[in-house]
Chains A and B, each alone.
Chain A
Amino acid sequence: MKLSSFIFLLLLVGAVHSQDLVPFSRNGMYGFKAEQTIVIQPKYEYALDFSQGLAAVKLNGKWGFINPKGELIIPNKFKAVSGFEHGYARFQQGELIGLIDTAGNVALAPCADFIQYLETYGSDEQFELGLKGKRGLFVPSDRVIVSPKYKYVNYRMGSCVVRLENDKLGIVHDDELKVQNLVSTPYFSNKKIAKGKTEDGYGLLSSRGVWLIEPKYEGMHVEMWGAIPLVMVSNEGELSSYRQKNFLLLDKKGSIVHHDTLVSFEKVYENGHMEYDWGTEPYSEVAYVFTAKNGEKYEPFFNGNKLELRKSHRLDLKGLLPNMKTFYSKGKYGLIASSDTLLPAEFDTLGTIFLSSSNSDDYMEFDEWGEPLYSYNEGRAEYLWLKKGNSIGIYHLASKMVLGEFYGGELEVTDRFVRIKNKDHEILYFDDKHFKGQKVELESFYCPKFSSNKNKLFKEKNGEVDYILAKDEKQFTIYDLEGNKILSHSNYLKFHNSNILLKAGRQVGTFDAYYVNSPNQTLVKDVYPINLINYNGEANLINEYGEVIYPEYESEFFYKDGNDKIGALLSNGRHIKAKYDSINAFPGLVKMYNNGRVDYMYFMEYGNYVSGRIAYYPVQMNVNQTPRFESDDYETWLYTETDTGSLCMSSTGVKASYQESYLKAVYTERGIALKEINPEANWNSFAVEPQDYKKIVPHWNDNYHLAKVKSTEGWGVNTIGGQLIVPAKFKKLEILYDPYEEQVIHAVSSKISALYKLNGDLIYEGAFKGAEFPYLDGMTLLEIQTKNGLLLIDYESGEIISPNNIKSYEPIEAMLDDFEYYGFNGLAMTDENGKSYIFKNSCFSDVCFSFKEVVKYDLDFLFFEVKEGESEYIYSMSSEYYYKVFEDSKDYTIDLYGGVALMTSKTTGRYRVYDLTAGMLYEGVFDDFRDGPEGLEVFINNNWQYIFELPLEE
């Protein structure tokens, strides 16, 4: 090598990074090069890429590791290795593998036939160990090694839970099985304790596998109060945060903390707020309050080192300012912030007041319905009310000042205002800006529906106060909720139940207001005259107080002008000028007539008006006519008839007319009738004579094509098409939704109830209390609730698939696979008498039944027993189909072999084996079984044979 080349190579070696070096081979030997320059000469029998600064190389038949300079850092002494990954490389010794670290130290002695790095997403790095189908674990950071001899290992929070061959769970510590009789998974907290369940009951476990409290309780629930476990135990069944029964509180050694029986506990959050750059966020500290059987409240505290309960006087006030807390002393409450006493302990009780600040609009965003999306000061109270004897005070939290004190008052607190009233005066507090300290005498609260302007949106709630009518010596005044004066009047003001908004404008006329008394379609004069005002270029209807009147949402407001012509104001603000003789209004459809012909019509669908002048389609309308609506997902059409044909209106406007004979329903004074309509035939031929209904409710339950009808016997449902889909004989009708979200009518009478589809198909009739359509993937299930229990029906086929006294049922999820999907494959049911049943909705092989009583079923292993005569049969449900595996097999056992559940039976002298996991039956005369290294082996002819190697040719 020339000197210059040598120097270049030295420089290169100094500069090169391991990731630039790639192995190459020449003449069967491997070296490393960077780009095209050889950095490490080919002298190895094999080489892997550099990883974590080291490359595995094979030299003299053994593997070691070199650095980028070609120096052998880990000597070549291994039979085989992998490259480094996550800090470790695998090495082989004999037929086992272990791990070494980058210094060549053995981190895990050879103990496995595979090692796999586990993606644990944030928790400690873990390596799964495998040996002949068994699993173990290596957690380097915690120096935890679990030898691979378990079915499954899970490591979390320093605890190692394993699944044993008998499918029980155990806890391994220091690679030693400490606990082995758990029947459910213990979930260790970060304090490394958990409740553990055995067949003897619940106890408290440490992650080291030590019983802190012996397992003997029927129920246990553990809450962590900081680092302190609060152990609740019961011998009256399971306990959980949602299932609280009579229980005792224990400390972590199992000593009883309090001898009274407790009935419930609640987490109490001590509120505060933290200021951040982006605003204020609430924080909370958790405290626990226990309620004893006698109603007393208790809280845990430490008396020296001893956990005890003492009486709780906690007020659970939400929305206090940062660091503020109520405190209790000598039977009275006060308020402190940090160590400052803001209010001395002299109040009987305190409460928070949340008010919407008008100033917060700038910081608020609203959704399309006007609901606030969020608010930076959401969750913070603005006032406290203080009660002391007969007096009530208001305390402003921000200024830390008592605003007023009132004696003998009544207190009304809502989330918007505080009203304090005594015989002398009444005060209304809204926020710190309006009405503060102002004495306002209130005549009454009135609750019109409140709409919105663009900037200030409030949720509409019936019955809530939206305006304040105040009276002083001179006049009445209306305030809005922000204290803004709307108007004053010396006379008593009467509001129409409509939306109001004050606007100024030029009065252009005065009219009488009407509304349509649907469905009789008569105009009824309303309570006050209205004025037509031109405001901002738009015509607005203004009442005598200058308020613009809008119709309610999805309704319309009609009026007559001085010429007795009718106009309308639609809720979208559109004004139809008064120039029509008469109107015909049906919910959703309005026709306006001149000279006996419809001159203008519109209908409304989902708040959108579709309208048009139809002068080009002169029609002679029948006033009894009922429009026919049809719709798909995108559009609604309205069909009606003219003297030249039918007219269709849709969101695309008025469509061409056509001539065709068809049926339509009409309302008459005697009820619904069905008419055949054909302009070239007889207009008035009744296809169905009017029914003698006592009452008709069209447009029932938002269904344009349905009318609820009442006969002398009861209620039924008729369609616009004239079909009586539910006989008029029921006391009550309600709508349910089937599995396809289609409506189903539930008709109830005193003796019999029924379910009907909207096409009139009777789904089920009988004596039942209620019905549901539970969601089950792959099946349309209808659950009928009878007085005996449940009756299950396949809604799609109408097939009854259970007895009528089912107490509980669960889906058979038989299509087990390695992925997340578990298919529904039938039902397993238990009736009120404890009998078991199986349902499968199709048949295969020689098994075909709807539902069948079975001796028992086991959904863990997916089999069931059937008794036929004196014989019992075992059926498997581990595939899509059920099939008979053992006949006449009263005596069988289930064992687990290498993760495979095997059911064995020997009653006919032949040892039969059914593989519950794979759904396979092996039959033969076997003497024994064992879990061999590669699977199940059977002892036959004095030899162990591998059962999965059965020759196909035989």
Chain B
Amino acid sequence: MFLINPAIGQKNIQQVFPLQWKSKIGTSTYRSNVVYSQDYLFIGSSGEDLNKDIDALDGVHILNPKTGKSFRHIQLPQLGDNDVNGVAVSEDLLYFGTDNDYFYCFNWREGKELWKYKTKNDCESVPALSDMNMDGTMDVIFNVQMDGVHVLDGKTGESIWSNDSLGSHQGNSSPALYDVNGDGIKDVIATGRPVRENLSEKWENYQWADLVYCLDGKTGSVIWVQEMEAGIHASPVLVETDGYDHPLLYIRSVSDVMAYNVVNGRIAIDMSYNGSFGSMAISKMGLVFFGNEYSYRSDKKVFCVDMSCDLLGECGYYWSDGGGIKIPKQESYKSYSINGNVSASPVIADVINSNKRKKNNVMQIGAEQKVEEVLIPSESGDLLILTEEGDSLMMLKLPAGSEATLFVDDIDGDGKLEIIQLGLNGYVYCYSTNSTSKVSWGSFRGQNNNGLF
């Protein structure tokens, strides 16, 4: 008995990257992340399926990264939808929210619940960590479906502040942190769609809008707010960019790809792409990579866009009829077919030891000039690998599709990178590579660094 690959001629991933281990932990979503910390892997799980109330697999799985064996499976005792998407780890403390309207802090070594915080709705996103009350310890920042942004004392779980004045919509977008106002406390960049009844008169003009906004990390008050065209499910990322004193804030909605000046919220880049849930990854060259649920060119699901032209105001655009939608001309982007929808965000890493690969047709010598690859999986089990210039390298077949972003790092200490895939079939797969390179963008939203790349 064997499995026939419908894409004839397509290599199985194991022909390129041998399977090191696999482990059944339950399914995952495009909001899921993988944390590698203190020699363990931390992965949230939606369990056997996204619905079951009695689910043997939901919760958080802590795995030995060398073998994939479970160190601990943190499950919650009550009935309900205890699915976990994003997790954050600080030393012995593990933070995560569930679809059962709770946010938790556990001592993961002991498996002991330290505190829990009742939320109004689901907690879907990846929490961010920073010292928000200047007590020298990490606090936790997360958003709640239809209930805005919450900041809790990381030790006690007590609220430092919360703000639902501009909403959080489905709460799928994870907050990013950056000290915008220079007061030494990270400010919170979040997205949302306001609940109309919650809007004060000040914000009433935004009642039908989807918003990206910045909240003062100290008080929770609004520093700036910008409208976006349509629903935002992806997470913001902050990227240091030439010519800017502060990182640019990249965020995409269902219809737009935008970059903002993080200090004042002014638009730096504004492009229209039929959109999606996956976040963006930005290469060292400034190329922006992302995948789509759907596309106005229906067989093209992965995009590589040179947005630098928009920063310079030199992009060639045409304006689509009717909607005033600005679409870059063909020259400024590349697009690729892939089997199935793409919800995952791309990762960028040199997984094939590419110092042997030519860059711009010139052999690159030396680690300084090492080139990287962009990896993006589809929900139907394709893995598209591009060069960092956006040229197609290979299309591999995965054992299962993925909504979640891949994770690339040396997690077993052998000096070579591993690729972690969270399959929609409930398995986590670990593949070996021969690459000894460093990773530039190895996980959901870069390096699990609160959205700052």
Q: State whether A22 touches B299 (Cβ < 8 A).
A: no
Q: Chain B residues with Cβ under 8 A from A880's Cβ? A: 298-299, 337, 339
Q: State whether B51 touches A25 (Cβ < 8 A).
A: no
Instruction: Mark each residue of chain B from 269 to 300: 1 if its CB lies under 8 Å from any CB of chain A, else 0.
Output: 00000000000000000000000011111110
| A58 to B78 alpha-carbon distance, docked (Å) | 9
- Within residues 1 to 43 of chain B, which ones have a CB less than 8 A from any CB in chain A? 1-4, 6-8, 12, 14, 19
Known: A83-B78, A91-B79, A130-B51. A923 touches B298 (CB 8 A): no
| A921 to B297 alpha-carbon distance, docked (Å) | 27
Q: Chain B residues with Cβ under 8 A from A114's Cβ? A: 51-54, 81
Known: A22-B118, A80-B78, A948-B425. A778 touches B2 (CB 8 A): no
Q: State whether A823 touches B2 (Cβ < 8 A).
A: no
* Residue B125, interface by CB 8 Å: no
| A182 to B57 alpha-carbon distance, docked (Å) | 39
User: Among the listed A113, A825, A924, which residue makes an inter-chain contact with B1, where contact means beta carbons less than 8 Å apart?
Assistant: A924
| A923 to B380 alpha-carbon distance, docked (Å) | 19
Known: A113-B52, A740-B321, A741-B321. A950 touches B3 (CB 8 A): yes
Known: A113-B54, A116-B51, A883-B6. A90 touches B298 (CB 8 A): no
| A907 to B322 alpha-carbon distance, docked (Å) | 54
Chain A CB within 10 Å, residue with most, of B100, B294, B298, B340: B298
* Residue B265, interface by CB 8 Å: no
Q: Which of A596-604, A709-717, A814-822 contacts B (4 or more CB under 8 A)?
A: A814-822
User: Among the listed A90, A778, A844, A923, which residue makes an inter-chain contact with B4, where contact means beta carbons less than 8 Å apart?
Assistant: A923
Q: Chain B residues with Cβ under 8 A from A49's Cβ? A: 118
Known: A25-B113, A879-B380. A778 touches B296 (CB 8 A): yes
A-B contact count (CB 8 A): 125
| A61 to B339 alpha-carbon distance, docked (Å) | 49
| A53 to B379 alpha-carbon distance, docked (Å) | 43
Q: State whether B80 touches A82 (Cβ < 8 A).
A: yes
Q: Chain B residues with Cβ under 8 A from A548's Cβ? A: none
| A880 to B51 alpha-carbon distance, docked (Å) | 28
Q: Chain A residues with Cβ under 8 A from B68's Cβ? A: none
Q: Chain B residues with Cβ under 8 A from A23's Cβ? A: 116
Residue on B nearest A741 in the bound complex, by CB: B321
| A56 to B102 alpha-carbon distance, docked (Å) | 14
Known: A23-B116, A952-B399. A821 touches B293 (CB 8 A): yes
Q: State whether A919 touches B6 (Cβ < 8 A).
A: yes
The number of chain A residues touching the other chain, given as a range, is 35 or more
Residue on B nearest A822 in the bound complex, by CB: B294
Within the complex, what minimum Cβ distance (angstroms) separates B262 from chain A? Answer: 30
Q: Chain B residues with Cβ under 8 A from A778's Cβ? A: 296-298
Q: Chain B residues with Cβ under 8 A from A22's Cβ? A: 118
Q: State whether A815 touches B2 (Cβ < 8 A).
A: no
Q: Chain B residues with Cβ under 8 A from A116's Cβ? A: 51, 81
How would you classify the secondary structure of chain A's contact residues: helix, strand, loop or mixed? strand
Residue on A nearest B381 in the bound complex, by CB: A920
* Residue B182, interface by CB 8 Å: no
* Residue A515, interface by CB 8 Å: no
Within the complex, what minimum Cβ distance (angstroms) separates A758 from chain B? Answer: 16
* Residue B77, interface by CB 8 Å: yes
Q: Chain A residues with Cβ under 8 A from B79's Cβ? A: 80-82, 90-92, 97
* Residue B341, interface by CB 8 Å: yes
Q: State whether B78 touches A56 (Cβ < 8 A).
A: yes
User: Among the listed B6, B7, B52, B322, which residue makes an inter-chain contact with A130, where contact means beta carbons less than 8 Å apart?
Assistant: B52
| A718 to B235 alpha-carbon distance, docked (Å) | 54
Known: A23-B116, A821-B294, A879-B6. A90 touches B1 (CB 8 A): no
Instruction: Mark each residue of chain A from 56 to 82: 1 if its CB lies under 8 Å from any CB of chain B, else 0.
Output: 101000010000000000000000111
Q: State whether A819 touches B1 (Cβ < 8 A).
A: no
Within the complex, what minimum Cβ distance (angstroms) separates A922 from chain B? Answer: 7
Task: Provide 22 A-B residue pairs closer than 8 Å at the C-beta atoms, listed in order of the A residue.
Answer: A48-B78, A80-B54, A82-B79, A83-B78, A114-B52, A116-B81, A740-B321, A777-B296, A819-B294, A823-B294, A879-B339, A879-B340, A880-B339, A883-B7, A919-B6, A920-B3, A921-B4, A923-B2, A924-B2, A948-B425, A950-B3, A952-B3
The 7 closest A-B pairs by CB, nearest first: A924-B1, A823-B298, A49-B118, A82-B79, A82-B80, A821-B294, A778-B298
Interface residues of B (CB under 8 A from A): 1-4, 6-8, 12, 14, 19, 51-54, 77-81, 100, 112-116, 118, 293-299, 319, 321-322, 337, 339-341, 379-380, 399, 425
Given contacts A113-B53, A817-B293, 16 further A-B contacts (CB under 8 A): A23-B116, A81-B78, A82-B80, A97-B54, A113-B52, A114-B52, A114-B54, A130-B51, A740-B321, A778-B298, A920-B6, A922-B4, A923-B1, A948-B425, A950-B3, A952-B3
